[in-house]
Every structure is written in C-alpha cells, then in structure tokens.
Amino acid sequence: MLKLILRKSSPIVSLISLAIIILFALLCFMGSQSFDTYILWTNIASLIWFCFSPWWLISKKESSTF
C-alpha cells in the first residue's frame, strides 16, 4: 500500500522540488533573493527530489544489472 502511494505521489513531489530549484535560481540571479537563500532552498529541494525520484524513475520490470 505504501509503495502504491509513493509511486502515485512521487512524480508530483519531484516536479514541485525541481520547480522550487528553478524558481529560486531565477530569483537569485535576478537579484530578488540572496545567494544564501538560494543555496538553502536548492539544498532542501534537491534532497527531497533525490528521496522521491527513484519511486517513479525506476520501472517495475527493470532488473538490476549490478
């Protein structure tokens, strides 16, 4: 049940995280946000993206070749 919930919600969470990274990058380079704020939110959003992306990037039928 938890895997199903993660598979359904992971693409949405991952896309929101990527949108936050892009938004704060644009705000920083336009001069609206400080660089420290940009680094903080980029680190948080990157961590969330890396936690949720495997649930929707790795297909069920794909076998491990390691």
What's the half-sphere exposure (Cβ side, CA atoms, 13 Å) at 4?
A: 1
Range of the domain at 28: 15-52
Q: Judge whether residue 65 has pLDDT over 60.
A: no
Is there a domain that residue 32 lies in?
yes
Q: Are 35 and 28 in contact (CB under 8 A)?
A: yes
pLDDT digits (tens, 9 = 90+) for 5-53: 877 888 898 889 999 999 999 999 999 989 999 999 999 999 998 888 8
Give the SS3 label for residue 48: helix
Count of domains for the chain: 1
pTM across the whole model: 0.72
Residue 1 in any domain: the answer is no
pLDDT value for 62:
54
Is residue 20 assigned to a domain? yes
Does any domain span residue 33?
yes
Confidence of residue 64 (pLDDT cuts 50, 70, 90): low
Residue 34 falls inside a structural domain: yes
Establish if 23 belongs to a structural domain.
yes
Q: Quick check: is 5 in a domain? A: no
| Structural domain includes residue 35 | yes
